[in-house]
Amino acid sequence: MQINKFPSYIKLTLWYMLIVMAISLVFSVAIYKVSFNELDRGFRRQPVVMQIFPNGDGLGMQSDNLEQKRIDRMSEIDQSIKSYLFYLNLIVLLLAAFASYFLAKKTLQPIEEMAEVQSRFTGDASHELRTPLTAMETEIEVALRDKKMTLAEAKELLRSNLEEIEKLKSLSNSLLRLAQYQNNEKQSVSGVCDLREIIEESKIKLDKIAEQRNIKIISDIDKAAVTGDCQSLTELFTILLDNAIKYSHDKSKIEITSEIQNKSVTISVKDHGLGIKASDVPYIFNRFYRADLSRSKHDIPGYGLGLSIAKKIIDAHNGKIDVISQPGKGSEFRVKLFLNHI
């Protein structure tokens, strides 16, 4: 039987309270000693008016009475100081409890979110890695049991395994790129890139895939220089174009246009394909997230990492991305980047 442990924020709250109360008690002791000593010193310095008897009778008795009064008075003050300090520390304890709980929750919130994201990422990655491995394992086990397997069947098995290996390579490369951008997201990017060249290079990489489905990529890009890493920006628009091709209908078109503002340029990648449901739009940049296509006849390849990588690249360039989409009519991704004025 496992014993339930205190949540992390409760432990942190107790630690915060312990620190605050330790400081409060140290100051209380110091205040008590200083206050008591100063008051005692003040009583001792007060002039004592004594009735002096010629023969000295009663002098000792009067002195004893004054000393007793001083002791009684100091005892009262001592109790008052202790009482005040007790209530003060009680108030500090209550305030510390509320403040510590709030700070503990605030401190642990990003850590808990990061741990949750990491856990979800590990689970998703494990699932995606397990799928092609399971397929390969099943095919190989079936082939080993088949004693009448022909050379043609063996070659087909190897071709199938190579396809699964390519999927694994693609997944691992995407994970590595995502980790790279994740580690470098706080580093500022510099450099000057020709926007037209970036878009043209991205198009060249996907021309063959587009031609296979009779999809036309039409671009109308203004001449502009943007600030950033040219290789990363090329990868960004390659991802957006690849995504547009995947979700476009055959014999359709994809339009790439630009609009220059004062210090920035907005590049639009618009397709006329399946579109994205409004409920899916907030999550499309999450890792391994793929929109529900159960009602579609299309089998879209991929692992749901492309747009996550694209978002990381945009964030590294301090840019913005917006999505306008309507199911059945297509999607438009609008990327805002800063111009480089030389």
Taking the C-alpha atoms of residue 185 and residue 179, their distance in angstroms, rounded to an integer, is: 10
Q: DSSP assignment, residue 228?
A: S
Taking the C-alpha atoms of residue 70 and residue 285, their distance in angstroms, rounded to an integer, is: 78
Taking the C-alpha atoms of residue 255 and residue 248, their distance in angstroms, rounded to an integer, is: 12
Taking the C-alpha atoms of residue 107 and residue 160, their distance in angstroms, rounded to an integer, is: 50
Name beta bridge partners: 257.
220, 268
Helix (H) or strand (E) holding 121: helix 59-145
Which of 249, 259, 255, 241 is closest to 310 using CA atoms?
241
Tell me if domain 118-183 and domain 192-338 are identical in fold: no
pLDDT tens readout for residues 212-243: 999 999 999 999 999 888 988 999 999 999 99
Treating both helix axes as pointing N-terminal to C-terminal, what angle do 230-246 and 195-212 enclose, rounded to 10 degrees?
30
Taking the C-alpha atoms of residue 214 and residue 251, their distance in angstroms, rounded to an integer, is: 5
Would you place residue 49 in the very low, low, confident or very high pLDDT band (cuts 50, 70, 90)? very low
Taking the C-alpha atoms of residue 41 and residue 35, their distance in angstroms, rounded to an integer, is: 10
pLDDT above 70: percentage of residues in the chain: 79
Structure token pair of residue 51: 């009735």
Place of tokens 């000792």: 60
**pLDDT at res. 336:** 94
Contact 277, 207 (CB under 8 A): no
Please list, in sequence order, all residues whose beta carbon lies within 8 angstroms of the beta carbon of residue 238, skipping any fewer than 6 positions away.
202, 205, 206
Please give the class, per CATH, of domain 118-183.
mainly alpha
Phi, then psi, of 5 in degrees rounded to 5: -90, 160
**pLDDT at res. 52:** 44
pTM above 0.75, yes or no: no
Options 3.30.565.10, 3.40.50.300, 3.40.50.620, 3.30.530.20; CATH for 192-338 is 3.30.565.10
**pLDDT at res. 15:** 87
Mean pLDDT for 169-190 is 71
Would you place residue 117 in the very low, low, confident or very high pLDDT band (cuts 50, 70, 90)? low
Where along the chain do its domains lie? 8-115, 118-183, 192-338
pLDDT tens readout for residues 52-69: 444 444 545 555 666 677
**Whether the predicted pLDDT of 327 surpasses 80:** yes
Residue type, 178: L
**Whether the predicted pLDDT of 1 surpasses 80:** no
Taking the C-alpha atoms of residue 200 and residue 186, their distance in angstroms, rounded to an integer, is: 29
**Whether the predicted pLDDT of 296 surpasses 90:** no
Helix (H) or strand (E) holding 86: helix 59-145
pLDDT above 90: percentage of residues in the chain: 23
Burial class (CB in 10 A: 0-12, 13-18, 19+), 240: buried
